[in-house]
Amino acid sequence: MLLSGKDKLERMRDGRVIYIGSERVDDVTTHPAFRAGAQTVAGLYDLKANPAQRELFTFEEDGELFSLYWLRCRTRDDLRRRMRAMKAIADATYGLIGRSPDQVAGLVTGLAMNPSALETLHAGFGKNLLNYYDFARRNDLYLSFAVTPASGRRSLDLFPGQQRDDPNLQVVAEDDTGVTVAGMKMLATGATFADEILIGNLTPIDEKLKSEAITAALPLNAPGVSLWARQPYAVHAAQEADYPLSFRFDETDCVLVCDNVKIPWERVFLHNHAVMSRAIYIQTPANCYQNHQSNIRFWSKMGLIVGLASRICQANGVDKIPAVRETLGRLASLEAILGGMIHGQIEAYEEWPVGFATPNRRFMYAMLNWCQEHHTEIIDMLRTLLGGYPLLMPASLDVMHDATLRDRFERWWATPATPALDRYKLYKLAWDLVGSEFAGRHMLYEKFYAGNSIVVRNQSDREAPWEHFHATVDRLLDGIETPT
């Protein structure tokens, strides 16, 4: 099933409980903080439901059409197709929506390629996962996930002697019908617009915290669930041109709060296995499929950054200066490196698990680390090229509503090359990427969405063929003649 944007909006009006501070949001599709973001998400659904785009966005299985990102790839060509669909989705939102519908879908798809990882822990749970995978793709679900303990605590040993009463999400009761969970979890990006949320643990947790080791899925309007939103950025934007990205691309981040929420067994995929609650993402292609999408999304964002840098230099009249061209050349080369890294993941794909195809894990984790390391530097390059021009712009485009102010603005704020209004839009766009609250949130997102740098680099450490590297050194050492 391919959902239309209109139907997606309808699903968001399901009575879910969202708070902005103490304000209860009745309808995200009409609330000023969320309505433009909701339209952006609906736009993605319309994009992929368009019959003219079937080849790009869908695959068929047993006579049914599914969004392509649910494809469990078996060949390099499958991986290529899946990548093209995700690139088109990321391009449609300029790489600014991190948890677009194809993101967490990758995680569930990856789990569904090796459900035995769950089944061996608890009979029936692998089957639950497969059924959920089928349910999610059949209903074109938008999934979000919250897999980080909100208290920061992952081990009891970190706080010896302390009796901390952490509100980490955990199982507080269970019976024949399912489990009851209570507590909070961070940070459910996109949950405001999604249909369901996956809870679990992406960071390792202590064996002693077994009750927190629960992996399950639940609808966002389940009784007892509430979402506590951070400050939404669209409310700062009286009109789109003032903060064009805050206005349309705030994907939202919420803390998931559960007040004795009942989850039926059919929706439970892991329970009481602390170490395995993280390992399942690594022992299956889940983490790789999910973050392959993150890599592709970053590539799209890089395209926006490079194009914007060039446009700004043109507007500033510095684009012909050799030193400026060098910077632009560097940025363009970085964008090309990302494209190469993504194609490389597919070219050197792994035939893993048996019968399936997975992007090359080492290359994927290397790119994940690269993006985490370099995003701040790249944004700073853009900021440096910008100069102080964004602050030259009036506080709001409402100057256009006053004939006298408008006349002055249009004459004095223009340059021979660029009308005042175009300059305003350009610099405001750039400001929303380097200086606004939206920009600040993106700095944090790119640093942390896949875990802190220790977690991300650990993936590369784990996957590295150390024996091969050691053998290289040993071969060289063995060849060194030593006096006898």
Phi then psi for 59, rounded to 5 degrees? -135, 160
Provide, rounded to whole angstroms, the least separation between the CB of residue 385 and ligand FAD. 25
CA distance 195 to 219: 6
Compare residues 106 and 399 and give the one whose CB is closer to ligand FAD.
106
Provide, rounded to whole angstroms, the least separation between the CB of residue 50 and ligand FAD. 28
104 CB-side CA count, 13 A: 28
Compare residues 281 and 299 and give the one whose CB is closer to ligand FAD.
281
Compare residues 198 and 263 and give the one whose CB is closer to ligand FAD.
198
The answer to whether the CB of 287 falls within 8 A of the CB of 281 is: yes
The answer to whether the CB of 398 falls within 8 A of the CB of 406 is: no
Provide, rounded to whole angstroms, the least separation between the CB of residue 95 and ligand FAD. 14
Provide, rounded to whole angstroms, the least separation between the CB of residue 316 and ligand FAD. 31
Compare residues 255 and 309 and give the one whose CB is closer to ligand FAD.
255
Residues that bind ligand FAD (CB under 6 A): 99, 145-148, 152, 186-189, 203, 253, 441, 444-445, 448-449, 451-454
76-92 and 286-316 helices cross at what angle (nearest 10)?
40
At 4, list the tokens. 């239309």
Compare residues 110 and 385 and give the one whose CB is closer to ligand FAD.
110
Provide, rounded to whole angstroms, the least separation between the CB of residue 149 and ligand FAD. 7
Provide, rounded to whole angstroms, the least separation between the CB of residue 200 and ligand FAD. 8
Compare residues 121 and 456 and give the one whose CB is closer to ligand FAD.
456
Compare residues 90 and 315 and give the one whose CB is closer to ligand FAD.
90
* Residue the block writes with tokens 């012909």: 320
Positive or negative, the Cα torsion across 97, 100, 102, 104? positive
Compare residues 49 and 209 and give the one whose CB is closer to ligand FAD.
209
Compare residues 453 and 472 and give the one whose CB is closer to ligand FAD.
453
Closest CA relative to residue 304, chosen from 372, 224, 249: 249
Provide, rounded to whole angstroms, the least separation between the CB of residue 147 and ligand FAD. 4
Compare residues 202 and 313 and give the one whose CB is closer to ligand FAD.
202
CA distance 352 to 412: 62
Phi-psi region of 221 (alpha: psi -120 to 50; beta: other; left: phi over 0): alpha
CB atoms within 10 A of CB 165: 6
Provide, rounded to whole angstroms, the least separation between the CB of residue 439 and ligand FAD. 12
CA distance 291 to 356: 17
The answer to whether the CB of 49 falls within 8 A of the CB of 207 is: no
Compare residues 148 and 293 and give the one whose CB is closer to ligand FAD.
148
Closest CA relative to residue 188, chosen from 111, 90, 103: 103
Strand partners, 350: 358
Provide, rounded to whole angstroms, the least separation between the CB of residue 121 and ligand FAD. 21
Alpha helices in 72-214 (DSSP H): 76-92, 101-111, 116-119, 125-138
Which residue's CB comes closest to ligand FAD?
189
The answer to whether the peptide bond before residue 187 is cis (omega within 30 degrees of 0) is yes
Strand partners, 253: 189
361-386 and 453-463 helices cross at what angle (nearest 10)?
140
- Transcribe 88-107 into DSSP letters: HHHHHTTT--TT-HHHHHHH
What separation in angstroms does the CA of 404 have from each of 358, 416, 451? 61, 21, 52
Provide, rounded to whole angstroms, the least separation between the CB of residue 115 and ligand FAD. 22
Provide, rounded to whole angstroms, the least separation between the CB of residue 146 and ligand FAD. 5
